[in-house]
Amino acid sequence: MLVEKPIALTLADADRVLRAADQAGVAVHVGYSRRYKERYLIAKEQIVQGRLGRIVGGAARVFNLRSQATAILERNPHATPVVDALTYYVDLMNWLMDSDQRGSRVKEVFARGQKGVLKDSGFDTDDISFAILTYADGAVVNLGIAYSLPDEYPARGHAARVEVLGTSGVMILDDDHTDQILCSEKGVPHVYLPDRPVNLVFLQSGTPGDWALGDFWGPVANETRAWLDHLAVGKPCVLATAREARATLEVTLAIEHSAASGRPVILPLAE
């Protein structure tokens, strides 16, 4: 079974999914589509080949529009920018660092947030959040999200930057797409807000991908094809497992708890 991310909005609900899957003998995977963006797949290959040595740290940040944030929050006020969007990069960093396999999950979270236009729009949630994650083996990762940029900002989903630091090398992955700009008086549809065409866009910044000459290209297309290959011929896939997704949810909730309390949060979280 393939389900949308996050696996749930509470740990109790996530645990119910895990128990039901175990009882039914069903493998559940969660659609963290960043794993199927080509630049991150290629980055994972460098790590698998040992070219970075032991991973000791990293960073990721993502920018998006306030209108997309409010559209998500109107659908569900608990789907905050951290839980609904930064979750992609918690999962991505855990996957790149192979945290589950090496038994070095996040053990401490320290976060700060800042409220602004989202609160002014009626949602008591942070516009901007930054967090430091410390893993059991000492690796440190900095994550940040700003889901309050003006609606004229050219990103159509995720404008991101990811860095991975190892004992033998470093990878810097510019995923802002500032090298692909389209300006059109006719307007370009927004992938998440189809009733709000924009005039200036970073091409390929749409989260799922793009249509091109009748075919769909991008992370969700790659993910879908990999899932169908997995079902049809048993080809291995890198989709997050339910337990990996549960661990990612726990980190995003810890980020929110830490930002709200002003104190570090030790994992695992209490139920």
**What is the rounded CA–CA span in Å between residue 25 and residue 2?**
14
**Between the CA of residue 63 and those of 3, 33, 98, 128, 186, what are the distances in Å?**
25, 17, 25, 9, 25
Amino acid at 76: N
Higher-pLDDT residue of 166 and 198 is 166
The tokens for 228 are 């169908």
**What is the rounded CA–CA span in Å between residue 215 and residue 30?**
24
Q: Chain-wide mean pLDDT for the chain? A: 94
pLDDT of residue 102: 76
Q: Over the stretch 57-74, which tens digit does the pLDDT of each residue have?
A: 999 999 999 999 999 999
Number of folded domains that form the chain: 1
pLDDT at 271 over 70: no
Matching residue, tokens 């032991």: 54
- As a 3-state breakdown, the chain gives helix, strand, coil percent values, each rounded to 5, of 35, 30, 35
Q: Nearest-CA neighbor of 29 among 221, 240, 246? A: 240
- Is residue 202, in this structure, part of any structural domain at all? yes
The tokens for 105 are 């999950």
pLDDT at 183 over 80: yes
- The SS3 of residue 185 is strand
pLDDT of residue 189: 86
pLDDT of residue 193: 86
Higher-pLDDT residue of 119 and 190 is 119
- Is residue 271, in this structure, part of any structural domain at all? no
pLDDT at 218 over 70: yes
pLDDT at 103 over 80: no
Amino acid at 3: V
- CA 58 from centroid of its chain's CA atoms: 15
- Is residue 160, in this structure, part of any structural domain at all? yes
**For position 132, which CATH number holds?**
3.30.360.10
- Is residue 30, in this structure, part of any structural domain at all? yes
- Is residue 175, in this structure, part of any structural domain at all? yes
- Is residue 153, in this structure, part of any structural domain at all? yes
Q: What is the mean pLDDT of residues 232-249?
A: 96
- Is residue 47, in this structure, part of any structural domain at all? yes
- Is residue 270, in this structure, part of any structural domain at all? no
**Furthest-apart CA atoms within the chain: distance in Å:** 55
Which residues on neighbouring strands pair with residue 134, listed in sequence order?
A: 108, 140
Domain that holds residue 189: 2-264
Q: What is the mean pLDDT of residues 43-51?
A: 96
pLDDT of residue 98: 85
